[in-house]
Structure 1
């Protein structure tokens, strides 16, 4: 005769077994990865235990407003060389930023550089006249490089990778070129001549088409969106 206890034991065993089978057979969640991109975890670190950096909205608003009423206003109303519709913001998609940082880090890693020695210097910059920009664009090695004529004279930024020495000095360098790992400014004239003479592409980040390093190239990235001229309902400050 089957007792209530036996029935309960059979039911519990059946439920537990079914749950284990379900968990084992359950499809794993997948993450959409852009074409041509491999899913790697050896570079991306887990910063879950690090307090995220934040600003109060009041401080962010004050800082943006201060720039608008001083530097931006001076640029737009200057007696000479004024840029009446100069940009007040630059936008990058997250994948572009991640790709840039990945290229800096993986290239340096291949050359036995420590990640803690790496950084990024942000240069304030401005687009040349369109005629000059067209001439400069002809020297780009990346077939995907694009030029936006609406960006003529507008300010932008260019991010250049840096590497630090033992004293903590940060030098601009090219992660793809081992000859630059002491910094561009400390290279001898013979090694630095390709860069100073013109067509030395850089791994950097700014706003336009991407520039990838090939042969005689620095990792530089110049890809994003200026506003204005672009308009976005998402701008809060």
Structure 2
């Protein structure tokens, strides 16, 4: 196992506590809700998303290197009235949206392989369109926190 994949449990706990004691407390008090503090995704979903990023990137750029691809995690929140398949008890809670990135000129740009070549590094726009993205893991809360260690 690489040392870059190791973090002390005390640092993890400190980071989680910092979030819960500051941002989460502020959100819960000011929005009068019990916001999510973790999001879980199963490995097959994550592996499938990574494989799709690699496949789609190679489709539009056969010379792309894996080192030039990545994933940006955006903090996000569900709307007041979620639309199926999002459960109604996820309303207004934190979530994550994962967006592929592609390195160009030393910068990691958001990347949408479903855009035309010159616009593939510009995911956002005024016209609704599809983007390669991943969302909707299991939130805690409303899920049971008994499964969490931190």
TM-score, scaled to structure 2: 0.88
Structure 2: give runs of 5+ residues left out of the alignment. Answer: none
* Structure number with higher strand proportion: 2
Distance (Å, rounded) in 2 between the aligned partners of 1:90 and 1:180: 34
| Runs of 4+, deviation exceeding 4 Å | none
Paired residue for 1:153? 92
Give, in whole Å, the separation in 2 of the partners of 1:123 and 1:90. Answer: 12
CA–CA separation in structure 1 for the residues paired with 2:32 and 2:47: 32
Q: Please name the residue that 1:204 is paired with.
A: 133
Q: Which has the higher contact order (CA 8 A, sep 6+)?
A: 2
Greater Cα radius of gyration, structure 1 or 2: 1
Equivalence for 1:162:
101
| 1:203 positional shift | 1.6
Residue 67 and residue 84 in structure 1: after superposition, are their counterparts in 2 closer, same or farther (change >3 A)? same
Tell me how far apart the structure 2 counterparts of residues 206 and 51 of structure 1 sit (CA, whole Å): 29
TM-fit CA distance, 1:177: 3.5
Within the candidate set 112, 116, 120, 2:71 is matched to: 120
Size of the alignment, in residue pairs? 148
* Alignment match, 1:227: 140
8 Å contact kept, 2:112–2:120 = no
2:24 — aligned with what?
A: 72
Looking at structure 2, the residues matched to 228 and 202 of structure 1 have their Cα atoms a distance apart, in angstroms, of 28
The CA distance in 2 between the partners of 1:58 and 1:94, in whole Å, is 25
Residue 158 of structure 1 aligns to a residue whose secondary structure is: strand
Looking at structure 1, the residues matched to 67 and 89 of structure 2 have their Cα atoms a distance apart, in angstroms, of 38
- Select 1:59's aligned residue among 6, 11, 15: 11
RMSD, aligned α-carbons: 2.1
- Greater CA drift, 152-161 or 176-185: 176-185
CA offsets per residue over residues 156-215 of structure 1, 9 Å max, x none? 11111111112x112112123442565107xxxxxx8xx5222x12221221xxxxxxxx
Q: Which runs of 5+ in 1 are unaligned?
A: 1-47, 138-145, 186-191, 208-223
Alpha carbons 1:163, 1:181 under 8 Å: kept: no
Aligned to 1:29: none
